[in-house]
Amino acid sequence: LVEQLTAGQIVVGMLDPYRNTQLDNYASHGVTAFAMELLPRTLSRAQNMDVLSSQANLAGYKAVLLAANEYARPFPMFMTSAGTVKPAKLIILGVGVAGLQAIATAKRLGAVVEASDLRPAAKEQVESLGGKWLDVPMSDDEAQKAKATGGYAWTPSEQYIKDQAAIVDKAVSAADIVITTAQIPGRQAPRLIHQATIAKMKAGSVLIDMAAGTGGNVEGSVADQTITTDNGVRIVGADNIPSMLAAQSSDLYANNLVNFITTLIAQSADNPTANNLALTLNMEDEIQGALAVTHDGQVRLAKR
């Protein structure tokens, strides 16, 4: 399909830019390609174009339903004449858009939810949804670094990483269901759960790895496969979850694209009073410039 493109054409979509092997071809054909994943998410005017958020919302919701289907017991607590059924204990690792939606959905289904994230600022969001924050002690210096960067760019100390691993190991070992959501654009997903932890989990426990398609947060997970370990734990490699809600994910994605494309269209400068619209590419624009991975025969994507 790339070979059929011609100079001056525009390609807009989720292009997986840091793993896309066709960028040089786009550039050589004179194509301007916009990768929606690169949208600056801190810009208020860009929020209605954020494909990652719209798809992650659906993915977080559906991940909990996948877990409920795999888990052989109910989520809520039941009080019956024959005895009490305890609620499912669910752990969310990674509290971005998908993680927050997973917390909200699991709480609606009656589960007891705990969550962890590298960003201390996520604690308030977790608790506002009724979840319990898995707190990792940090030094005053680390707290300042995390606060100054919003939690996204700070580098934790070795001690913090060890403390976090110990707390996560304890929580996951006792959990009925674990959903992992951590992904890094252009890189392999970080490994959050190792075999030593999985070996401590109860038979019938479920792990939903939402990052299975980019290497996996869970050791042993395989994209689009469900694996049962020797101790009876089910590891679900949940790749491309939004496709399981195709109608709604397509609607939201289409809206994101339309909202972006409207930024490329402006009234003709030659006749500003008439209803004359024209494509206007401006690499100095903070949205267009951020999303353009090829333009004027050049690959613009910064190396990572």
Do 184 and 282 lie in one domain? The reply is: no
Tens-digit pLDDT profile for residues 1-53: 788 889 999 999 999 998 899 999 999 999 999 999 999 888 899 999 999 99
Point out the catalytic residue in the list 9, 19, 24, 41.
Answer: 41
The pLDDT score that the predictor gives to residue 10 is 95
- Residue 198 clears pLDDT 50, i.e. is over it: yes
Tokens 């903070």 sit on residue:
286
Are residue 275 and residue 146 in the same domain, yes or no? no
Q: What is the 3-state secondary structure (H, E, C) of 185-229?
A: CCCCCCCCECHHHHCCCCCCCEEEECCHHHCCCECCCCCCCEEEC
Q: Are residues 143 and 192 in the same domain?
A: yes
- pLDDT given for residue 138 in this prediction: 77
Residue 182 in contact with residue 212, Cβ under 8 Å? Answer: no
Q: How many CB atoms lie within 10 A of CB 11?
A: 18
Averaged confidence pLDDT in the chain: 90
Q: State yes or no: is 128 an active-site residue.
A: no
Q: Of residues 26, 50, 205, 253, which has the active-site annotation?
A: 50
Residue 71 is part of which domain span?
55-239
With a pLDDT cut of 90, the percent of the chain lying above it is 71
Strands (DSSP E) found in the chain: 10-13, 32-35, 78-80, 83-85, 89-93, 112-116, 132-133, 177-180, 206-209, 226-228, 234-237, 265-267, 277-279, 292-295, 298-299
Query: Is 79 within the bounds of a domain?
Result: yes
Does 209 participate in catalysis according to the annotation? no
Domain count, the chain: 2
- Residue 18 near residue 42, CB atoms below 8 Å: no
Distance set, CA 30 to CA 22, 207, 287 (Å): 13, 45, 20
Calculate mean pLDDT across residues 93-112.
96
> Could you confirm whether 50 is annotated as catalytic?
yes
* Whether 176 is catalytic: no
The pLDDT of residue 304 is 46
Per-residue confidence band for 141, with pLDDT thresholds at 50, 70 and 90: confident
Of 249, 233, 228, nearest to 59 by C-alpha is: 249
Same domain, 81 and 203: yes
Is residue 194 located within the same domain as residue 272?
no
Q: Note whether 53 and 63 are within 8 A (CB).
A: no
Last-in-domain residue among 239, 274, 290: 239
Percentage of the chain exceeding pLDDT 70: 92
CATH number of the domain to which 193 belongs: 3.40.50.720
Task: From the candidates 47, 139, 225, 243, give the one annotated as an active-site residue.
Answer: 47
Q: Is 9 a catalytic site residue? A: no
How much is the pLDDT for 271?
56
> In terms of pLDDT, which residue wins out, 204 or 165?
204
Judge whether residue 303 has pLDDT over 60.
no
Out of 26, 53, 55, 239, pick the active-site residue: 53
Indicate whether 139 and 176 sit together in one domain: yes
What DSSP designation does 285 have? S
Choose the catalytic residue: 4, 81, 140, 152: 152
Q: Among 243, 242, 252, which Cα is nearest to 49's?
A: 252
Q: Is the pLDDT of residue 175 over 80?
A: yes
Q: Which of 54-63, 88-97, 211-220, 276-285 has the lowest mean pLDDT?
A: 276-285
> 164 versus 205: which is more confidently predicted?
205
Give pLDDT, residue 268.
54
